[in-house]
Each structure stands twice: as C-alpha cells, then as structure tokens.
Structure 1
C-alpha cells in the first residue's frame, strides 16, 4: 500500500511559541511542537495537560436539564418508586447502565436495569422495554447512551404513567422527546463546556450531580471511573479535555483496583500483569463486552460488570469470551463474502462509496464488516441486512466525510438513524433501498475528493535518533492516554541507513526487524515494521531511506526497551521538504 505522507511544518509564530515553551518547561522543543499542535501554547495549559486533575471536571449542573433530572431521581428515591436503568447493548451503553446502577443501589433496592435485544427490539428505546417497566411497577426510566430521538416511545411511556430521564451523547433532532429531563451536551441550547462525553460519561455526570447535591464526597465516585475509561476508549470519542481527565484516572483505577467484572475480563484477556492502556481496551476488553450484545444479549455484559464475586465474574467472562470467538468467526466469514461480492460485481473505479445488502448477514457484526470494508477500499461503507421486516445496518467513513450528515440528508426515506461523524446506524423499508444507494453515492461523489481515498499518514514532527533519550521518552509518556485528537505522535526521521543487521522475521518472514543509524548517531536504533518485508531490498541496498514511526515500549524476557514501530518506509518521497 502506497501511503501519502502529510507533514505540516510550524509557522514562524508557532516556532516562537514552541521555543518559549521549551525554555519554560525544560523539555524537548519537539515535544513542545506536539503541545502547540494540540492547541496548548502556554505553560499553564501545559501544566494542566501533564497533570490531569479531577478538580478540573466541569460542574455537572452546567449540562441542560441536569437540575430537573436530579430533582426527579431524588423524588423517586424519597418515595421509594421503582427505577429502571435503560441502555444500549454496546460497550458504552452497558458500562453506562452498570455505572449508574452501581451508584444508585447504595440508596435503594427498588431498582432494575434493562438492555434491549438487538434482534427482537433493535436500537434504542423499545415499546417492549416500556411494557416491561409497566409490568414491574417502574415509575421512572433513566435512559443512557440512547433516547435522544425517542419522541414516540417517551410519549408511550408517559401514557402509562412512567417518566423518562434521557442521558445521551448522540446528535439530537430539532424536536426533543417530552421527557422530564433531556441531558445531552450536543443540544443546540447547551452551554456545557465540553460536548464529546461518552454515553457512560453522561451517566457519570449524572451520579456526580446527585452526589454533589447530597453532599456525598467525590471519593465515593472514583471506583466508577474504570467503567468510564472503558467506554471512552471503546466508543472512539476524543480523548481531550474532560474525557482525558476521566480516562487518565479511569486507567489508574483499572490498573490498581478494577471492579470484579472488569477483573474477570482482564484475566481472560491475559492482561493481569500488564499496564493496561487505551489500546488494550479497544482491542481486547471492549470487543469482549461488545460480543455479548452482538451474539446473544447485551444484558449479560451488565450482569458481568455488576458481578459481586470473582468466581461469578470469571464464569461470566468465560461465557463472553466464547461469544467473542464466535463473533470473530462470523465477522471473518461475512467480510469475506462482502469482499467477494464487491470484487465480482462493483467497478470501484467509478464508485466513491459502498452500500451493500444481504438479508442473511448477521446483524451483530455488520458494523465491524463496514469498518473492514472502509479500511480495505478507502471509501465510506454501509453494510445492510434484514431485521424485523426492515433493512437495517451500519455505516463507517473515511477521514473528512461526515457519514452522519450524509445519512441525515436521506432521512425522508429512512425509518430511523443516528450516530456520529464517522460511524452511524440506520433502518429503512426495502422499497427505499435503491433510492438510498443512489442518493448516498451521489453525496459521496460530490463530497469525497480523490486524496480522501488514498491512505495517509499524518506526521507530527521530525526527530533525529540522537534526540531519542530516556528523558525524551519519559516526557513523551506524559502525553498519554492516547486516542482520537490526542493520538500517539508519529515521527519522521530522514536519511536513515541499515546498520547491516536488519532482516525479515516472523511467520513466513512477513515482518521486518530493523537496526538503523542516521546522521546524528552511530549507535543502532531498533525498529519493527509489521507486514513490510517487501521493503527489505530497499533497506539492505545501503541507500538512505526515510521512516515514519511511533515510539513504543517493548518488553522481552523481562527487559523493557524502546522500539520504533515503523509505519512506512520510503526512499525519499518527501525529499523536497527536508
């Protein structure tokens, strides 16, 4: 795959800010460049960035309708009314439900939780869920990570004497549901300082407000932060501002004293003796929690997260691990089928998007399949199947194309839709499928430039091997936790040469183990280039080449050292710019 390397040098003003920061902070100008790129140009802001503090969390009562929500919850607690916590079946929804339930069960036993069945009920608030609430005597439903568009369902609940509080983070429509409270930082009338909370993050702000209003010390909430960190990482929301603070302390909780449910998952992932990172959550912990809702029932994930004994947690984690194995097999089979269909029937030279449908595909994995197709074909992908008499599916997008807005532009032929800039869900009647395909492709043709369909690597800064010192690595660690809008920096080093010992490694020699020097040092630096053994000839030729990479810790035989994770190797495609 031929990548386009994007590297924007700092402006003169930014260079002055960088150098000023370097003097004040006593750290590498390269790291100060990374701060400038993240919008941090003062030593005060840099201090806050490097020293996350729970005191910097915003007042939860700044969220719209929070005061109304707390008043209604306190009424329910005071009158011993039955409360139902209702959430989506993905990681964000199940962690949100578990978090609010864990907090409220300290004050009432008249409490229940509900996760809709992906297959019988579909996404969001369902009449089935409301009927369950009525049957069990519920007077208040607290919906988390869903409900922002549930106008009819909230009215249905109201007709049965059931109140709703909605805590969501998805984009609202112009008209909001007639709930007691609609808490969403994305409301047009919201003045909340940070709009990128996860659904579980909104749940945390809800219990923070309840604690604050009842003079419960914040220390009573810190054991809930592990769930928030799992939701932020899994839902791919920006790890900036308030999310960065919540994730930083949530990771500390996960690594020191995780809840029993998470401990069960950590054990089954083989992460017990490892410092767990955002990547571990994204690739190991999150998929297992998700697998429950994808393959069976999302409620099982909440059951696990609320486990009261380690034996119960281990048993439930083992079940969820089996679901994850099944999910992987299904995901691979459907992805292979989709690729075979596209390669056999679609002229990709004339298409800027993919909308594919097969009524036999498993609803639980089509979002993953859409992600894989987007990655392979570098185009937004909508993967659809049939469920409950409707065509339903998931969409994923390429950088720069707002798939949510594209789907919203087709709302007159849709039954339902929701999501974010790069990931969304939708449902429609079968007779509208062809028109949706036509409109979505027309929007893609209009809005997607050719460079958006070429794989790109965004380089943060130039770095010489001489600058990679223990202090540099230690200071760089202060940028974590990494995630959207605070990504692990990608560095470029020009004119690198093989030390003479680089070689292909791994099964079938598909990877490339590198030992390199540059103009600034004769001491070799170690690197690994996964699936890039085809570059072996370039490396071994003796000619200089350029590399872009991230810096990672690698532990082998109990010894930890720094290794370059090489993203791409080039013989000088950017030679004019350095």
Structure 2
C-alpha cells in the first residue's frame, strides 16, 4: 500500500489498512489482502463460503507476492497457507502457468509464479492476467499462460537491455554519482513497465537512490518514472519535496512512481539532489550487502538448511538471511546463460572433492573472479536434483583480520 496523503479525500468509507493502528496485524496487507478480507467476509455473511476459502487463499498468496507486501501479521500467516495450496491448485490458470513455466511443484512456487503474472501488467495487457486467474476454461487458461510466459521472457530481455544502457551511459558521461548523491536518468526508448526493476539493480550496483524515467509521448512533453531508494533515503518524502513540479506521484519509503512535464526535469533533478544532500552523508553512499552471520562452507549443510526453511517465507519484512564466508577458494568458474557465473568453491583445507556449487547472477563483467575471496551468499536448494548450492550476492578481497572487519 502507498503512503497515505496528509489530507484524506472526503468519502463515506476508506478501505486502507494503513488507517489501522500501528500494531494491527492487518496494517501491512496489500490491495489483494483488502479484497480477500472483503470477499471472505461477504461470502461468510451470505452463507456461501464453502469451497471458496482455498482458491481465494491461492489468489491472496499470488497477489501478496506480486505486490511485495511485508510478510508480517496476517500476511505471513495467510501466505504460508496459500503457498501450501498452490502446488495442488485446482485453478485452471495456476495449473496452466505451472506447466508452461515447467516449474517443480514446491511450496515456494508462488514466488516463481508471481513475477510471471507481474510481467503482464508491466509490458502487456493486464486483462490477460485477470482472464488467466478467473477462467474455468482450461483452453483459455493455457493460451493466457503462454502469453504470460512470453511477456515474462520479454520483460527479462528488456531489463537486461535497459540496465546495460544505463550503466554505459553513466560510465561514458562520467557521472559522479557519489558527489550528486542521487542518480536521475531519462531515456526515450526505455519501457516504463520495467524501469523500476532496473532502478533496483542500479541501487544495488551504486548504493545511491535511483530515479529512472522515459517519455510518455512522442513529442517528449511528459516524463514517467520509477524511483528506488536506500534505507537512509525516504522516496515518498523526496517526491513530496518535489510535488509542485510533478503531475502525479505515489510512493512508500523504498520505492515510488512519478510523472512530470519534461520542462520541469532539470528543476526536479536539482530538487532531488538538494534533498539527497540533506539526508545522506558520503559514507552512506556505497553498495552494501547486509550480513546476518558468519558461516564456514561446511556448516551450510542439509541440517542447517532445514532450520532456515522453518523461517520461510522470505520477503519484505522477513528478509532471507545472508552469510559471510571468508577466504573462499575459487576452484572452477565459467559463464552460463550469457551473463551468469557458475562456480565451484572451497575453503582452505577443504578437499576439492567437497567443493560447493555456486551461482552468481549477472556477474559476467566480474569474470574471472580472483582467488581467494570473501563471499556473501544465500543458501539454495536446486529445483532439479535437490542438492544445496550458494547464491553469491557479494564478494571482496579477503579481509586482513579474522573477524572480517578490516
């Protein structure tokens, strides 16, 4: 849910969970949660709830994941129930989407389906996703599922293309993003439906707030954009500080969307730059990976993985833990899928036969990695063979001191 405006509109009723007390378990529900509560309540009062609870919970789970709602309060409780139902879903649209995407039937399958449904709203016709989830016709479901998968593939390609173009533009223009304390980039050919995803990737890369935009009309008179922030930068407050320059905006702390006349673009950038200088210090402007604990590779085994699984589902408000492992030897590494690295890792003293597999998404530009290195990683289980592997989310030269603080 977006942040509430300072003045609420006149209405007989406003259904917004952010009006609930701060400690309410309902405060974090997304729009799909409001719809779920309303539907269940009405069906129960009308005596027609039988047979509706399971499919409604499945739709709640998909919507909560797709909207990246905080996984706390009732969101967490209902999502866990919905995720358990999805692998055996009786909804034709969910069944078709699982088959088209060739996804294994696991309890976390909702996190694989959510982005595919989101992709339709980003770059295609949202009605397609509505028909997918609402239809009882298996043929229609199959057709819509194929369209959703095609949209997801196109979304991935667009994200890669725009990310590369943005990085190239930043480097060629020698933008001093650390001095500016905010990145503002606008290009006419960028697709408005995916620039928010790219903005998130640039935040991870540069460690500064990012505002990306594209032109909404052929005459380049209007700009539409998406923003992503860092923890110390409140995107909603930043857009509020620019509100007289904007036509529309909607946001919460970490992300937002906006539209403005092209004539206001320079003033918008200057206003964001001034806001960033007020709330950010140079020390806060660096790509950081937040670590939850130190772990040796031999500790990241099946027993530990089962303990982690008990804390699922991961998401906003319940982030997946990231572990720091020092002085890892890179035994093997190669590029896969054109832009990812597949590796075999071990620590000093480990037998090479006990090497652990690892994947590093979109790390091609860092190939080959030096050895040894300190790595930040998440523990993953392979969809296909069930073996454990690491997903690398950060790396650095080995630290000089054993605690890793140097």
The TM-score bracket by the shorter chain reads 0.7 to 0.9
The range that moved more, 182-191 or 427-436, is: 182-191
Give the TM-score taking structure 1 as reference length.
0.61
Structure 1 segments unaligned to the other structure (5+ residues): 1-168, 540-544
Q: 1:511 aligns with which of 342, 351, 360?
A: 342
The equivalent residue for 2:399 is 572
CA distance in 1, matches of 2:160, 2:36: 35
The equivalent residue for 1:139 is none
CA distance in 1, matches of 2:300, 2:256: 41
Give the TM-score taking structure 2 as reference length.
0.84
CA contact (8 A) 1:226 1:258 kept: no
The range that moved more, 353-362 or 433-442, is: 353-362
Equivalent runs, 1:404-423 vs 2, <5 Å: 404-423=236-255
Aligned residues: 394
Provide the secondary structure at the position in 2 that maps to 1:266.
Answer: helix
The equivalent residue for 2:292 is 460
Tell which has more relative contact order, 1 or 2 (C-alpha 8 A, sep 6+): 1
CA contact (8 A) 1:460 1:491 kept: yes
Provide the secondary structure at the position in 1 that maps to 2:75.
Answer: helix
1:425 aligns to 2:251 (yes or no): no
The equivalent residue for 2:386 is 560
CA distance in 2, matches of 1:401, 1:321: 35
Structure 2 segments unaligned to the other structure (5+ residues): none
CA contact (8 A) 2:205 2:287 kept: no
Q: 1:307 aligns with which of 122, 130, 135?
A: 135
Provide the secondary structure at the position in 2 that maps to 1:186.
Answer: helix
CA distance 1:468–1:452, change in 2 (3 Å): same
CA distance in 2, matches of 1:523, 1:338: 41
CA distance in 2, matches of 1:386, 1:484: 30
The equivalent residue for 1:291 is 119
By how many angstroms is 1:317 displaced?
Answer: 1.6
CA distance in 2, matches of 1:436, 1:213: 50
Q: 1:528 aligns with which of 358, 363, 368?
A: 358
By how many angstroms is 1:418 displaced?
Answer: 0.6
By how many angstroms is 1:417 displaced?
Answer: 0.9
Over alpha carbons, which structure has the higher Rg? 1
Q: 1:400 aligns with which of 232, 236, 253?
A: 232
1:275 aligns to 2:106 (yes or no): yes
CA distance 1:527–1:341, change in 2 (3 Å): closer
Q: Deviations over 1:480-507 (max 9, x none)?
A: 1111232222233456678xxx322444
CA contact (8 A) 1:268 1:321 kept: yes
By how many angstroms is 1:443 displaced?
Answer: 0.9
CA distance in 2, matches of 1:386, 1:296: 18
CA contact (8 A) 2:57 2:82 kept: yes
Equivalent runs, 1:158-197 vs 2, <5 Å: 169-187=1-19, 192-197=24-29
CA contact (8 A) 1:417 1:427 kept: yes
By how many angstroms is 1:535 displaced?
Answer: 3.8
CA distance in 2, matches of 1:409, 1:434: 15
CA distance in 2, matches of 1:433, 1:465: 49
Q: Deviations over 1:2-40 (max 9, x none)?
A: xxxxxxxxxxxxxxxxxxxxxxxxxxxxxxxxxxxxxxx
Provide the secondary structure at the position in 1 that maps to 2:5.
Answer: coil
CA distance 1:457–1:359, change in 2 (3 Å): closer
By how many angstroms is 1:424 displaced?
Answer: 0.4
Provide the secondary structure at the position in 1 that maps to 2:106.
Answer: coil
RMSD: 3.2
The equivalent residue for 1:390 is 222
By how many angstroms is 1:569 displaced?
Answer: 5.8
CA distance in 2, matches of 1:489, 1:374: 19
Provide the secondary structure at the position in 2 that maps to 1:383.
Answer: strand
CA contact (8 A) 1:355 1:437 kept: yes
The equivalent residue for 1:318 is 146
The equivalent residue for 1:483 is 315
By how many angstroms is 1:425 displaced?
Answer: 0.8
Provide the secondary structure at the position in 2 that maps to 1:379.
Answer: coil
By how many angstroms is 1:475 displaced?
Answer: 2.5
